């Protein structure tokens, strides 16, 4: 069993060995780059297809590159000299996105296909792949009071259309690169990661961020109404970003988990209605709820069985949802107020508040986002 003491074992790369974080312009990738930087790693290459100025976090001293990793030549360049590769790159978002843009989600297979081959050819020692609980059999997720999903529940396979199948197939790539070519791969199935410094509007946000934003919109606009996708009974567990990052590190440096998918998620199950109530409490408001029953809502219930991660690592994600949501809501509120404080009037240099609209200016359709993912 790995313990937290093993976080400092000699199996980890030296401070001068190169770590590649793919998808570093995103929520989890950006947090991972900062984590390694704060642990003293001096050679970090961060890659994302978004322009660097649009990244959620830009870490000082990190080599930041704007490259599309669905292209083979970019993966080859990205992996040059790397000791460890962390693949967080994917075209994805919340349930509204992954149900409407399945082809885009499926095309992320190009990233992992090219990146793992480039890593193998470059002599990379460890390759981490970020999978998802969407890889699990959807027939086991039809009850809002589900039994927690254990790692073996991915088969017989019936993954979520598009996004879930891409994750499951990419897991197979990782397992076969170990079995046939000896590349040490590590696979974590994420369960709904949330926290500050992530997407909170625009249509790709997850339920914790979407609900936080909608509560803010209702609070500051005075509408006192929140629109919820589904009937509010959909149930999920949500993992705070700090737990996710620590879990990635532990998993990637545990020899027992080579080419072995493992859950990385909280086991604290809540319904959408309960999550809304929690955010209302944090915000100090009580809102009228309107349910949109024909909106995307995903499976009825999904929770993480953490038996395996506790047995192997002696650890599991443990940040209470209330604590994590307090930090997340506070950060989103700060960002919301900075963005919406004032807008120009007729180009005259005068300003007026932007709180009357009740919706984000980037994408009004996203104001109904909130179904769990």
> If you average pLDDT over residues 226-253, what whole number do you get?
97
Output the CATH code of domain 207-235+270-303+318-368.
Answer: 3.90.25.10
118/129 Cα distance (integer angstroms): 14
Q: pLDDT tens, 211-227?
A: 999 999 999 999 999 99
Q: Measured at the alpha carbon of residue 255, what is the angle toward residues 119 and 34, in degrees to the nearest 5? A: 60
Q: What is the pLDDT of residues 346-359, one digit of tens each?
A: 444 444 444 433 33
Q: Would you kindly state where each structural domain of the chain is located, as residue ranges?
A: 4-196+237-264, 207-235+270-303+318-368
Burial of 251 (0-12, 13-18, 19+ CB in 10 A): buried
**Same-fold call for 4-196+237-264 versus 207-235+270-303+318-368:** no
Which of the four pLDDT bands, split at 50, 70 and 90, describes residue 11? low
The C-alpha atoms of residue 214 and residue 322 are separated, in whole angstroms, by 18
Assign a CATH topology to domain 4-196+237-264.
Rossmann fold (3.40.50)
Q: Give the active site residue among 136, 163, 220, 329.
A: 163
Q: What is the pLDDT of residue 357?
A: 36
pTM, whole model, 2 decimals? 0.88
DSSP letters, 233-297, are --EEE-EEHHHHHHHHHHHHT-GGGTT--EEES---EEEHHHHHHHHHHHHT---EEEEETTS--
What local confidence, expressed as pLDDT, does residue 45 receive? Answer: 98
pLDDT at 348: 44
How far apart are the C-alpha atoms of 343 and 270, rounded to whole Å? 38
Given this model, what pLDDT does residue 371 score?
A: 44
Q: Is 177 a catalytic residue?
A: no
Tell me the per-residue pLDDT of 246-300, one tens digit each, with 9 for 90 and over: 999 999 999 999 999 999 999 999 999 999 999 999 999 999 999 999 988 889 9
What are the tokens at 243? 């737990």
């Amino acid at each position: 069993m790995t313990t937290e003491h093993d976080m400092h074992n000699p199996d980890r790369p030296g401070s001068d060995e190169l770590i590649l974080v793919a998808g570093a312009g995103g929520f989890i990738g950006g947090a991972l780059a900062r984590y390694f930087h704060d642990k003293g790693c001096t050679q970090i290459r961060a890659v994302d297809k978004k322009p660097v100025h649009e990244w959620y976090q830009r870490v000082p001293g990190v080599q930041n590159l704007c490259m599309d990793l669905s292209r083979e030549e970019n993966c080859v360049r990205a992996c040059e000299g790397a000791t460890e590769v962390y693949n967080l790159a994917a075209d994805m978002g919340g349930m509204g996105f992954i149900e409407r843009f399945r082809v885009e989600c499926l095309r992320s297979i190009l990233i992992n296909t090219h990146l793992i081959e480039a890593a193998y050819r470059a002599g990379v020692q460890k390759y981490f792949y970020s999978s998802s609980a969407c890889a699990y059999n959807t027939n086991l997720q039809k009850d809002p009071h589900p039994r927690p999903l254990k790692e073996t529940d991915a088969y017989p396979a019936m993954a979520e259309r598009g996004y879930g199948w891409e994750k499951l197939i990419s897991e197979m790539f990782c397992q076969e690169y170990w079995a046939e070519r000896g590349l040490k791969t590590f696979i974590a199935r994420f369960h709904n990661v949330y926290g500050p410094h992530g997407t909170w509007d625009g249509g790709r946000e997850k339920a914790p961020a979407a609900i936080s934003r909608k509560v803010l919109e209702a609070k500051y606009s005075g509408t006192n109404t929140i629109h919820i996708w589904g009937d509010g009974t959909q149930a999920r567990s949500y993992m705070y970003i700090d737990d996710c990052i620590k879990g990635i590190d532990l998993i990637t440096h545990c020899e027992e988990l080579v080419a072995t998918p493992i859950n990385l998620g909280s086991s604290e199950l809540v319904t959408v209605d309960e999550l809304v109530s929690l955010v209302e409490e944090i915000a100090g408001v009580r809102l009228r709820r309107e349910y949109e029953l024909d909106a995307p809502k995903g499976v009825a219930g999904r929770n993480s069985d953490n038996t395996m991660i506790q047995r192997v690592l002696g650890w599991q994600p443990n940040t209470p949802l209330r604590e994590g949501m307090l930090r997340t809501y506070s950060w989103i509120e700060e960002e919301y107020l900075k963005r919406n404080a004032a807008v120009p009037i007729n180009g005259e240099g005068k300003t007026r508040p932007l709180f009357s609209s009740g919706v984000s200016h980037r994408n009004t359709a996203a104001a109904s986002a909130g179904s769990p993912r």
